[in-house]
Amino acid sequence: MRTGKESDMFRMPKAVEPLISAFSIAFTRPTFNRAVVLMLGAILSLRHRTVTGMLRAVGPLAQGHWSDFHRVLCRRVWSTWPLAKVLARLVVELIPPDQLVVCAVDDTNPQHKGKRVYGKGRHHDACRSTHSHIVWVWGH
């Protein structure tokens, strides 16, 4: 799998192609090509996992303007749900059929105080509430 016109000198190893290409369903082709370069940069980056750090790690593989790679994450017209579904499927395929899977869920309601908290809402605090007294927590 070539990563397109942005990187003519890089070819994805054949063993990794099915794994990486499984995530392509969430992106358009140009966005996926840039996302692959960012994934590679995240793996190779020794210091910072910022977009600039990832681009610095891949060097000349990141052909094109740096703002194109920033837009992959900041505009984000793609959804994370298909990516989560692909990742969950890949993880479940690794689990033997007779193996028991235990899932831990944390429903802690983090409290956010302040006048300008994005997405702040009122939630029922199950730990501090009783049948006769309901405690509300502001957060998200």
- Per residue in 48-72, pLDDT tens? 789 999 999 988 888 888 898 998 8
In a domain, 133, yes or no: yes
Structural domain of 136:
104-140
Both 65 and 134 in one domain: the answer is no
Higher pLDDT, 1 or 22: 22
What angle, rounded to 10 degrees, do the helices at 66-74 and 51-58 form? 140
In a domain, 3, yes or no: no
In a domain, 61, yes or no: yes
In a domain, 10, yes or no: no
Buried b / exposed e across 102-125, counting CB within 10 Å, b at 16+? eeeeeeeeeeeeeeeeeeeeeeee
Both 112 and 48 in one domain: the answer is no
Q: Could you give the CA distance from residue 124 to residue 109 in angstroms, rounded to a whole number?
A: 9
Instruction: Say what the pTM is.
Output: 0.62
Residue 113, pLDDT > 90, answer no
Both 53 and 120 in one domain: the answer is no
In a domain, 90, yes or no: yes
